[in-house]
Amino acid sequence: MIGHSTNSLSLIAPCWNERTLLPQWVDMILQQKESPLELIVVDGGSTDGSWEWLQKHPQINAFQTTKGRAQQLHFGVKKASGALLFFVHIDTQLPLGFDGFIKKAFSANALSGCFRLRFSPHNPLGLRLAAWGTRWNHLLFRGGDQTLFIHRELYHQIGGFDANYGVCEDLELIRHIYRNSTFTILPQEVVTNSRRFQQKGTSHLLFHFRVLHFLHWLGAGPKILFAYYQKFVA
């Protein structure tokens, strides 16, 4: 059984051209945490000034690698010192005391898990239903916007993020968690930005994201998933 000799937490986020969101997001992390944590942001070759801004921030451990969330996040794990890993997207707002909730879950022997999800500011019925589904503990209701926390020993035991996945890298990792360990859904909510749904159309994206989830659940490989994403979502 994996032990909990330390509860140090490393928050790891991938970044690509998020210069307009970074200052507010970093301020949110620093305001919402209740104890010291390691903040790691891995840039994927931004061209909008994100990388330059990250390097100047004294409370961020900034790194750069080739673009691709799976590769960026796995690179971040290699640089992390925490026993507990917490993966977050830069357009996601965390609840007050998020690190305390995660550490409490680990203390209760939860080796991995996520928060429930809510969308903002655009939150029509379709998104509310999608968010409501995140309380169900099944692979079909998981996704990277819900964040993901995992003990680093378990992360390495199941192989970590697979760089072959251009999309659904989070689902693939969580699939291995479900097969090898337990998964905990915390009752607090994270809030993700619904800007993409406003731009692309809520019904359109919800339908095609659901198809992607179902294809992955059926066992479709990374090439099929990426081709579908490029055709209908990107």
pLDDT in tens, 110-148: 999 999 999 998 778 999 999 999 999 999 999 999 999
Give pLDDT tens digits for 163-206. Answer: 999 999 999 999 999 999 999 999 999 999 888 898 889 999 99
Instruction: Measure the CA angle with vertex 172, ends 73 and 212; round to 5°.
Output: 110
- 10 Å CB burial of residue 53 (0-12, 13-18, 19+) is buried
pTM for this prediction:
0.95
The answer to whether residues 181 and 110 touch, using CB atoms and an 8 Å cutoff, is no
What domains sit in the chain, N to C, each tagged with a CATH number?
Answer: 9-194 (3.90.550.10)
The percentage of the chain sitting over the pLDDT mark of 70, rounded to a whole number, equals 97
pLDDT band at 4 (very low <50, low <70, confident <90, very high): very low
